[in-house]
């Protein structure tokens, strides 16, 4: 008898469109789309011009989402993920908007940051791309949304660089609206503006030889369709379109290409932005996969039910982006890798003691990789500097709350223990305080095992004996310093677990 999996849905309350897909899964984790609906919205236009979402737009949004809510009921969907992006995220009245949506539609919308948005988009990308495209070649990926542009580089299958700029297609249009009325050559002004915002990025990218250029986003799909292509755009065809648009008015563009208003507003900025990034590559084709944020959301939901190879690739993307930050701040990679390995080993072996899950394991992994980034600022109070660095990073797939927890874990990777006198700790919810304390305790122990930065400890085995936990270190060299430091750093672990820590060591022989 075939396993019957529940239907799932994803809702993207975007800046230019509100979209939803409803899908079913088969036991192999493949997604079959049952419904795919899209409605235009003025959310982004309101936010990017006025800083707030207008009452009329809120009403229209609620009406659209009421229709989506009815579809969810018709299909009996219980598992869904609804998100809002920059249009709601940057609105001064976002809390009121979310509350009205919740009351009128019964849909809970989560505001995600640009790093989370990137994670979901790349999860969708992984489901569509030919494997060798990322695994074997240097690839530039530009995710053009209404509010911003996310630029990433893959090299030999690993994500090695990522940056977010607030020059999305709709934001550009609204930002430069005054200039449009005054300029006789608005496309040239827009391109110059984009070049000014990407000048530092270009300095970094100009020496890299990209084999592939991937462009993703709803607006980019419109460009691909007008070039008569599905998944790929020939650079020659795109160049002809670009040069043609430079001498056309907005009205001419709208009539010639049969665009509706939402498409017309973002079409020219999309083409010019695409051209600016295309100049950085040697690609002869632009790969334009038919994906959007909602596809990434639906695949992420599916991964929660059935693990797929792509879900592991997405996790690897996230960890690659963390290593990019660590390298940027001069971390000792060999030491950080050793602390990461030992921290995860301790976490896995003490699972029945601490009772934490997969998400908390990820927090510990990220904290272990980034635990020493504060030294880049100063050797004095380096943990405070690390806290601020992590707290204000955009790390792929991690929410603001996730970053606060990870920053606090690193903050307490010292002789100091979490205290209610510390406002950063006191401001956490009670459950989050427990998570931070347990993971900080494990990170302290893991770093103690490589305090000499000599990778002396090959492995650690943990065994329980009554109310004692016996940690046995296996080492090729004398780990006297590591043993002494481990014992001195064990008090927080003993306090949060209620167990007594016993340290032993065994030598390894050839």
| Per-chain mean pLDDT for the chain | 88
Q: Is 79 helix (H, G, I), strand (E, B) or coil?
A: strand
Residue 410 in tokens: 């690193």
Tell me the per-residue pLDDT of 278-303, one tens digit each, with 9 for 90 and over: 887 877 788 888 888 999 999 998 88
Rounded to an integer, what distance in angstroms lies between the CA atom of residue 358 and that of residue 191? 45
Tell me the per-residue pLDDT of 471-489, one tens digit each, with 9 for 90 and over: 999 988 888 899 999 999 9
Where residue 76 falls (left for φ over 0; alpha for ψ -120 to 50; beta otherwise) is: left
b/e 57-74 (16+ beta carbons within 10 angstroms → b) = bbebbbebbeebbeebee
Rounded to an integer, what distance in angstroms lies between the CA atom of residue 175 and that of residue 142? 21
Task: Decide: residue 358, CB within 10 A, 0-12 exposed, 13-18 middle, 19+ buried.
Answer: exposed
Interacting residues of 279 by C-beta distance below 8 A, sequence separation 6+: none
Rounded to an integer, what distance in angstroms lies between the CA atom of residue 352 and that of residue 357? 10
The conformation of residue 107, written as its DSSP 8-state character, comes to P
CATH assignment of the domain containing 65 = 3.30.420.40
β-strand pairing of 31-40 with 17-25: antiparallel
Q: For residue 323, is it within any domain?
A: no
Rounded to an integer, what distance in angstroms lies between the CA atom of residue 53 and that of residue 42? 8
| Final residue in a domain of this structure, among 67, 85, 112 | 112
364 and 493, same domain (yes or no): yes
93 and 136, same domain (yes or no): no
339 and 276, same domain (yes or no): no
Rounded to an integer, what distance in angstroms lies between the CA atom of residue 262 and that of residue 57? 14
Q: For residue 295, is it within any domain?
A: no
| pLDDT for residue 307 | 67
| Final residue in a domain of this structure, among 112, 142, 159 | 112
Beta bridge partners of 286: 213, 233
Residue 259 in tokens: 């665009």
The conformation of residue 489, written as its DSSP 8-state character, comes to T
How many CA atoms lie less than 13 Å away from 48 in the CB half-sphere? 25
Q: What's the per-residue H, E or C state across 405-433?
A: HHHHHHHCCCCCCCCCCCHHHHCCCHHHH
Q: For residue 123, is it within any domain?
A: no
The conformation of residue 464, written as its DSSP 8-state character, comes to E
The residue written with tokens 């000014």 in the block is 196
99 and 165, same domain (yes or no): no
Q: For residue 120, is it within any domain?
A: no
- DSSP string over 204-260: HHTTS--SEEEEESHHHHHHHHHTT-SSEEEHHHHHHHHHHHTT--HHHHHHHHT--
158 and 103, same domain (yes or no): no
Whether the model clears a pTM of 0.85, i.e. scores above it, the answer is no
Positions of E strands within 70-223: 79-84, 109-111, 139-144, 149-155, 158-165, 212-216
Q: Which residue has the higher pLDDT, 347 or 387?
A: 347
Do the beta carbons of residue 275 and residue 242 sit within 8 Å? yes
477 and 415, same domain (yes or no): yes
Which H/E stretch holds residue 146?
Answer: none
Q: For residue 317, is it within any domain?
A: no
Average of per-residue pLDDT across 322-340 = 91
Residue 181 in tokens: 């009325």
Tell me the per-residue pLDDT of 188-218, one tens digit each, with 9 for 90 and over: 899 999 989 888 888 878 778 887 888 888 8
Tell me the per-residue pLDDT of 61-101, one tens digit each, with 9 for 90 and over: 999 999 999 999 999 999 999 999 999 999 999 999 999 99
Task: Provide the domain count of the chain.
Answer: 3
| pLDDT for residue 1 | 42
Range of the domain at 243: 130-288
């Amino acid at each position: 008898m075939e396993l019957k999996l529940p239907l799932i849905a994803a809702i993207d309350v975007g800046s230019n469109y509100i979209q939803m897909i409803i899908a079913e899964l088969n036991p192999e984790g493949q997604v079959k789309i049952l419904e795919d609906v899209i409605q235009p919205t003025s959310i982004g236009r309101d936010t990017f011009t006025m800083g707030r979402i207008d009452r009329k737009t809120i009403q229209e949004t609620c009406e659209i989402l009421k229709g989506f809510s009815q579809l969810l009921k018709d299909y009996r969907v219980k598992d869904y993920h609804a998100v809002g992006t920059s249009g709601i995220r940057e609105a001064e009245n976002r809390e009121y908007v979310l509350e009205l949506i919740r009351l009128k539609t019964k849909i809970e919308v989560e505001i995600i940051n640009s790093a989370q948005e990137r994670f979901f988009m790349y999860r969708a990308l992984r489901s569509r791309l030919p494997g060798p495209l990322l695994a074997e070649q240097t690839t530039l990926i530009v995710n053009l949304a209404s509010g911003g542009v996310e630029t990433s580089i893959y090299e030999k299958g690993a994500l090695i660089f990522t940056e977010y700029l607030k020059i999305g297609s709709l934001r550009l249009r609204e930002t430069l609206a005054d200039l449009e009325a005054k300029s006789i050559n608005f496309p040239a002004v827009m391109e110059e503006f984009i070049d000014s915002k990407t000048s530092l990025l270009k300095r970094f990218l100009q020496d890299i030889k990209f084999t592939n250029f991937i462009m993703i986003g709803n607006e980019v799909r419109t460009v691909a369709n007008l070039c008569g292509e599905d998944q790929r755009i020939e650079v020659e065809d795109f160049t002809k379109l670009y040069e043609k648009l430079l001498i056309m008015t907005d009205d001419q563009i709208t009539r010639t290409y049969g665009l509706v208003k939402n498409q017309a507003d973002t079409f020219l900025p999309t083409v010019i932005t695409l051209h600016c990034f295309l100049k950085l590559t040697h690609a002869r084709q632009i790969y334009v996969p038919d994906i959007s944020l909602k596809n990434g959301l639906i695949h992420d939901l599916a991964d929660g039910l059935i693990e797929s190879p792509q879900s592991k690739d997405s996790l690897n993307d996230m960890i690659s982006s963390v290593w990019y930050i660590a390298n940027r701040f001069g971390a000792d990679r060999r030491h950080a890798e050793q602390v990461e390995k030992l921290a995860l080993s301790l976490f896995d072996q003490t699972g029945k003691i601490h009772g934490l899950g997969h998400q908390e394991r990820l927090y510990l992994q990220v904290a272990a990789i980034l635990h020493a980034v504060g030294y880049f600022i100063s050797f004095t109070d380096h943990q405070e500097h690390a806290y601020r660095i992590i707290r204000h990073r955009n790390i792929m797939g991690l929410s603001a709350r996730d970053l606060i927890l990870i920053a606090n874990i690193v903050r307490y990777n010292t002789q100091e223990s979490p205290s209610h006198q510390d406002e950063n700790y006191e401001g956490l919810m009670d459950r989050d305080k427990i998570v931070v304390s347990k993971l900080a305790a494990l990170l302290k122990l893991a770093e103690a095992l490589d305090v000499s930065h000599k990778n002396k400890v090959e492995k650690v085995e943990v065994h329980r004996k009554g109310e004692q936990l016996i940690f046995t270190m296996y080492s090729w060299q004398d780990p006297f310093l590591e043993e002494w430091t481990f014992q001195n750093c064990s008090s927080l672990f003993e306090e949060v677990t209620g167990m007594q820590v016993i340290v032993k060591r065994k030598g390894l022989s050839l």
